[in-house]
Structure 1
């Protein structure tokens, strides 16, 4: 019985290490202070984690206005660990640089538990103000 408990503890420690390592690698891929980094972090909070409040620091202007309206609309609806969230995978399909902004087009596959999967295009615009990149607009469509 004791060896089984140690096996489970070792296994949990191993999984925790893998998760921590993956998190470090993922955040290291795109620094926060560049256009792609801020777009990825926004997508991770808004679409993947469905944590609109956590997406706010990455937004400015129209994107921040949209986000705050959505937060008001869903006020009182709790999304927590018991919520069956969809699994979202996304990849960059196009990028267009402008003078002070970058537009990204991502293709997302959204897998809803017991509901199937579907695809969406995520259009994210990042704008640089002073030395900081922020998402200035976002939209999704089929």
Structure 2
């Protein structure tokens, strides 16, 4: 009986969890995909796909600075959890998001950062045009 209940409830749970994700083409969806690529997975090449302007230059600079430092399956990545604190629309083509990030490093403790992302809507859709970190 428990197994049947579990099998019947799993599709509903999957649908409910996927509904929590913002539309990938929305400003928040782009912002959170950037955060996932840059901070959670530390995949700077993937993070570039969500950037334009100054943000793109910063990510390219970070890629150059980390050349030769492979991040692969053997790398102990920090655990990064973030939550939206504030959304500030600035007209129809610009919006800023403030996130609170909690970062846990194995053997190194836990710390928090404030992340501020500014997005702009252009021909290619929404892109991160700048981002900042604050302690």
**TM superposition score normalised by structure 2:** 0.84
Aligned to 2:27: 35
Q: What is the CA–CA distance in structure 1 between the aligned matches of 2:126 and 2:134, rounded to whole Å?
A: 24
Tell me how far 1:101 sits from its aligned partner. Answer: 0.8
Aligned to 1:137: 130
Alignment equivalent of 1:116, drawn from 109, 118, 129: 109
**Structure 1 segment 1-142 matched on structure 2, within 5 A:** 21=14, 25=18, 29-99=21-91, 100-130=93-123, 132-142=125-135
Q: Work out the number of aligned pairs and report it.
A: 123
Q: What is the CA–CA distance in structure 2 between the aligned matches of 1:57 and 1:131, rounded to whole Å?
A: 10
**TM superposition score normalised by structure 1:** 0.80
Q: Which runs of 4+ in 1 moved over 3 A?
A: none
Tell me how far 1:131 sits from its aligned partner. Answer: 5.9
Tell me how far 1:136 sits from its aligned partner. Answer: 0.6
Change (3 A) 1:131 1:66: closer
Q: What is the CA–CA distance in structure 1 between the aligned matches of 2:43 and 2:124, rounded to whole Å?
A: 26
The answer for unaligned runs of 5 or more in structure 1 is 1-13
Aligned to 1:6: none
